[in-house]
Amino acid sequence: MQDSQNISEPALSAEVTRVIVDFRAKTLEPMEGQFNRLIYIASLRDYNTARYHHYGLETRYGSEAVDEGLKQCHIEVFEALLALPLQDQARDLIQFFESVREAPSRMIESWQRMRSFQMLPPAECHPLARKLFDENMEVLLKVLQETDLWALLHEPHSNADHLA
């Protein structure tokens, strides 16, 4: 592991790029779903310092490069999720809830009560992007609470446009 404080700006930038390429290939790409990716990256951020840590990456790269690389990946995943149509965000969220192997109703109630989804956006995201994310989450959770979208999304039907 290099000490990032003793390397030049261009060298740090190159190291950040290597961190991003490594993290995307070995961690993000094998994961299914934007919510899975977003939740995982957000879990790597220390909420006391807003710094990102990843033991495996920090054994190969300097901590400054890992922090910056993961911060950039977090922004990319967050923006990719927000760019999805709301229907696709709903499917992605359902896929995440199903992967947890907890009763969907319990997950929805917990997310609504604790509002833990508010910890998912990157700290540096634009305030309007954060507001859009929060409002999308409130709508998605309300729809999932009041309807049985799980059943609808798993039923074979030729046209799902009525779910939009």
Per-residue model confidence as pLDDT tens digits over 132-162: 999 999 999 998 888 765 555 555 554 555 5
Mean pLDDT score of the chain: 87
Handedness of CA 124, 21, 35, 113 (dihedral sign): negative
Does one domain contain both 67 and 88? no
Per residue, what are the HEC states of 115-151?
CHHHHCCCCCCCHHHHHHHHHHHHHHHHHHHHCCHHH
At 114, give phi and psi (nearest 5°). Answer: -85, -20
Q: Which amino acid is at 95?
A: Q
Q: Which tens digits make up the pLDDT trace of 33-69?
A: 999 999 999 999 999 999 999 999 999 999 999 999 9
Domain count, the chain: 2
Confidence band for 1, pLDDT divided at 50, 70 and 90 = very low
Domain final residue, candidates 28, 57, 82 = 82
Does one domain contain both 73 and 90? no
Does one domain contain both 158 and 92? yes
Q: Which pTM value belongs to this model? A: 0.83
Domain with 97, as residue range(s), is 84-163
Does one domain contain both 94 and 123? yes
Domain final residue, candidates 49, 82, 115 = 82
pLDDT at 17 over 90: yes
Does one domain contain both 118 and 146? yes
What's residue 3's pLDDT? 47
Q: Which tens digits make up the pLDDT trace of 70-119?
A: 999 999 999 999 999 999 999 999 889 888 888 888 889 999 999 999 99
Confidence band for 8, pLDDT divided at 50, 70 and 90 = low
